[in-house]
Amino acid sequence: MKRILSVLFILMLLALPATAENYQVKVSSPNGAPGIALAALAVSAPEQYTYVAAEAITAEFAGAKADFIIAPINAGAKLFKAGKSGYQLAAVVTWGNLYFASQKADFKPEDMNGADITLFGENTINASIALYTLKQNGIEPKSVSYLAGAANTQSLLLTDENAIVLTAEPALTAASMKNDRITSYALNDLYKKATGFDGYAQAGLFVNPETVKNHPEAVAEYLDRAKKAVALCENDLDSVVKSVVALEILPNAKVAERAIPRCALRYVSAADAREQVERTAQVDIAQFGGELPADGFYYVPSEAK
């Protein structure tokens, strides 16, 4: 009964009513940490949300059917620079869910000096951020090897007691619940020491310019609701846990309760996040199309112009 009442409360709080123009937005999102950000909205109107594999996000931009897309910021910037997408960054919603982890007793960053470490996603912005933070903190591994994704480094972490890997939430929480010897250290802690920023601009909420043009009231309304939904990840964890489990974004409440606070979920408008986006881009400018995003990449509400 308590669960039912909680879900009903979420529905009343965040359900998307018809706007003045009676337009309901469509949103595309990957599963995992980015999908958690708007789970409280998606659970109230699942017909408006499409969850796709991470590698399919580029096709979502190309298709231009969604009003909003959650995607890696560098991917959106690169497509925008190449003229393959007109989607603008409306807000940053995730600020880095990466962790260095090991089964080694009392594992700490200094243990990576002179050690063999395994990252995931060679030639991606995540790998670039990881290598940058190590270098800026004076940490020099003996060797760096790569696996395809966080699921692969998670498997290595579980099977090799001497491995030091880069992995991500929520995969890390799932691994830690299987093996309590796993210790982790947030990449964001090292990034802050290097830059002064609380996390790097990882994934954002992008808006279709055609929707801005044709349905400006719906865009403004949705962004306001999105901001409130992301805030629930910090202010009402229990409701978000119920949402992500109901949507099957995460397998169960125990994983969700531990993982969500470690996903660095915060809503910051594109205008306010621009400095941090540019700082992230400067780590590996090639991942952003070879130059900093142009002014037109950032969505600015008409009343703020």
- Where among 174, 195, 216 does a domain terminate? 195
User: Cα–Cα distances in Å, from 264 out to 18, 211, 247, 292?
Assistant: 31, 28, 20, 24
Domain range spanning residue 162? 98-195
pLDDT of residue 53: 86
Are residue 299 and residue 205 in the same domain, yes or no?
yes
pLDDT of residue 17: 44
Are residue 124 and residue 147 in the same domain, yes or no?
yes
Are residue 157 and residue 277 in the same domain, yes or no?
no
Are residue 86 and residue 205 in the same domain, yes or no?
yes
CATH number of the domain within which 87 lies: 3.40.190.10
Kindly provide the residue ranges of all beta strands, DSSP E only, lying in 95-249, ordered along the sequence.
Answer: 98-102, 116-120, 143-147, 164-168, 183-186, 203-207
Are residue 206 and residue 298 in the same domain, yes or no?
yes
pLDDT of residue 146: 98
Helix (H) / strand (E) element for 30: namely strand 27-30
- Where among 195, 216, 234 does a domain terminate? 195
Are residue 107 and residue 151 in the same domain, yes or no?
yes
* Residue 23 backbone dihedrals phi, psi, to 5 degrees: -115, 130
pLDDT of residue 19: 45
Are residue 80 and residue 223 in the same domain, yes or no?
yes
pLDDT, one tens digit for every residue, the chain (305 residues) = 444 444 444 444 454 444 445 799 999 998 888 899 999 999 999 999 999 988 899 999 999 999 999 999 999 999 999 999 999 999 999 999 999 999 998 899 999 999 999 999 999 999 999 999 999 999 999 999 999 999 999 999 999 999 999 999 999 999 999 999 999 999 999 999 999 999 999 999 999 999 999 999 999 999 999 999 999 999 999 999 999 999 999 989 999 999 999 999 999 999 999 999 999 999 999 999 999 999 999 999 876 65
